[in-house]
Structure 1
Amino acid sequence: MDRLFANDTINAAQSGQGPALFLFHSLLSDRASFDAIVPDLSRRYRTIVPQLPGFGNSVAVHGGLAEVADRMAEAVTEAADGDDITVLGNGYGGFVALQMAIRHPVIASRLILADCGAAFSESGRQAFRNMGAASREKGLQAITEVAMRRLFAPEFQAQNPDLMRDRREAFLKTDPRVIEAACDALAGLDLRPQLSQVKIPVLVLVGEHDEATPPPMSRELAAGLPDARLKIIPGCAHVPQLQAPRLFLDAIGDFIAETAAAG
């Protein structure tokens, strides 16, 4: 069931009953990247999967990642309706969730940050500059294969042609201005000085073969957070919940249950 939040600017799918669990999708994918895990999660949680600002039917924001995080904070607060809150972000969604937790420290009880970090290396920053420039000059079609390689290893792509066709089609439906603005934001992002402000428990996950946000970024992120644990998901790249749903669910299950019980 789809609902609108944050003054009707954020569209979200909601299913299940129980404590509120929000899933924030990555930049180069969409909320369908969680489809393989939502049925399982919605048996235990009220699972809310928004389209981030500028994606799908959610209204874009003007500004950088902080403005995106503030919009999502409005949506989370409204949708949670007083519930205990877990926010899981993958890739760009992880950066949004982290920025939201920094700017709104009491909004969530726990975070799961999958395949993100606090800052990119210079080569990582340049990759975003290049993607943004290519999109502006030639359109999303020009960066589609680069985007897919950042999400999935070549072997996975070769073994899953139908899935890859679906992912390419979804990517090409994205507003290029949203992609370009996000590339600019991520190229300049450095949240490392603010990590100490995140006092809640955090599970940091990363796919073993993630090329977009490599494991060293997750190690740095976990080391900078006051209360974090790190798990590496074997055999996966940037979207482990889509590549290996059972492994991903196993990786997050105990953390949610433990921290919920402690809360």
Structure 2
Amino acid sequence: MLLNIDGHRIYYDMVGPDSAPIVCFTHSLSSDGGMWQEQVPILLGAGFRVLRLDMRGHGGSDPVAGDYTMAILAGDVVKALDALGIDTVHYIGLSIGGMIGQALLQDHGQRLRSAMLCDTLPGTPPGSEATWDERKTAVRQANGLATIADGTIDRWFTPAFKDRNPARWRQIRDTIIGTTPQGFLGCAAAIQSFNFEDRLHTIKVPTLVVCGDQDPGTPPDRNRLIAEKIPGGRYEEIKNARHLPNVEHPEVFNPVMVSWLRQNR
């Protein structure tokens, strides 16, 4: 389904009882709402309604020209909630989705009943500019993400996951390749230019931070720092997982998620 927001279309998927509390998901860079498919049936069974949003230029959402910021991307979420007539949600975001979540917590906290930030960062990593510029150049030159797909998915999953679930591994790799160049470039620019570290202490919404213990791009120590800086923040680590623990080990991730949501229902 599509929402027309500020002249561009945002794709969303919403399932579950109309009267149930809503869990709103946003995804990682070069992914889409499909990365949460292991979570949807569990949440429906636990009595929640599930809303998945695709970022600009990802999945079914239109790309928008120019560089994006975390404030712009958080604004897309708020405008989507407004268009759907939703006052408050439980928010779950991973990677850039967790960065958007931090922007929402600080600037639109009244719209969130709780937040779960997964495998994310509190600010642009020091010394990362050259790495991001290299990836952006590769995407521009190829006019697509095929040349960076293998490096990306290697950061996302341990080798054991590919052996265990090759069909899901291929599906997610195909999603990386299917991301629009402009969507990647705009969101990469947002990752290169944000810093929430000094504002996290102002957050008043219950927040859980979760991270795979082998995540190389958004490592556990940075996620733990977010939880430490948010008043009352909690941290959980998923063993034997890299950047997408919700896909690699849903049998561990899902109970943590449902327990958290029930505590804050």
TM-score, normalised to structure 2's length?
A: 0.90
**Which residue matches 1:31?**
33
1:115 aligned to 2:115?
no
Structure 2 residue aligned with 1:100, among 96, 101, 104? 104
Verify: 1:68 aligned to 2:76, yes or no: no
Paired residue for 1:56, among 46, 55, 59? 59
Q: State how 1:83-162 maps to structure 2 within 5 Å.
A: 84-138=88-142, 139-162=144-167
Question: What is the identity percentage for the equivalent residue pairs of Structure 1 and Structure 2?
Answer: 24
Unaligned 5+ runs, structure 2: none
- 8 Å contact kept, 2:33–2:59: no
Q: Is the 8 A contact 2:5 2:80 kept in 1?
A: yes
Q: Pick from 225, 232, 236 the counterpart of residue 227 of structure 1.
A: 232
Q: Offset at 1:6?
A: 4.3
Note the C-alpha offset of 1:123.
Answer: 4.2
SS in 1 for 2:52: strand
Are the equivalent residues in 2 in contact too, given 1:94–1:116 (CA < 8 A)?
yes
CA contact (8 A) 2:31 2:58 kept: no
Query: Post-superposition shift, 1:24?
Result: 0.7
When the two chains are superposed, the root-mean-square deviation of aligned CA atoms in Å is 1.9
Distance (Å, rounded) in 1 between the aligned partners of 2:213 and 2:29: 19
Instruction: Give the Cα separation in 1 of the matches to 2:79 and 2:190.
Output: 20
Q: Which residue in 2 is equivalent to 1:13? A: 13
Q: In the alignment, what sits opposite 2:3? A: 4
1:158 Cα offset (Å): 3.6
Instruction: Please report how far the alpha carbon of residue 237 of structure 1 lies from its aligned counterpart in structure 2 after TM superposition.
Output: 1.2
Q: 1:202-221 residue pairs with structure 2 within 5 A?
A: 202-221=207-226
Total equivalences in the alignment: 258
Q: Out of 242-251 and 123-132, give the one that drifted further.
A: 123-132
Amino acid at match of 1:210: D
1:212, 1:238 within 8 Å by CA — same for their partners in 2? yes
Q: Letter of the 2:60 partner, please give it.
A: N
CA contact 2:161–2:169 (8 Å) conserved in 1: no
Q: Is 1:255 matched up with 2:260? A: yes
Q: Aligned AA for 1:28?
A: S
Q: From 21, 24, 36, give the equivalent of 1:22.
A: 24
Report deviation, 1:128: 2.3
Note closer, same or farther for the CA distance 1:159–1:254 as it changes in structure 2 (3 Å cut): closer
Q: Partner of 1:206: helix, strand, or coil?
A: strand
Give the Cα–Cα distance (whole angstroms) in 1 for the partners of residues 61 and 80 of structure 2: 11
Unaligned 5+ runs, structure 1: none
Q: How much does 1:125 deviate?
A: 4.3
The two structures have a TM-score, normalised by structure 1, of 0.90
Alpha carbons 2:69, 2:190 under 8 Å: kept:
yes
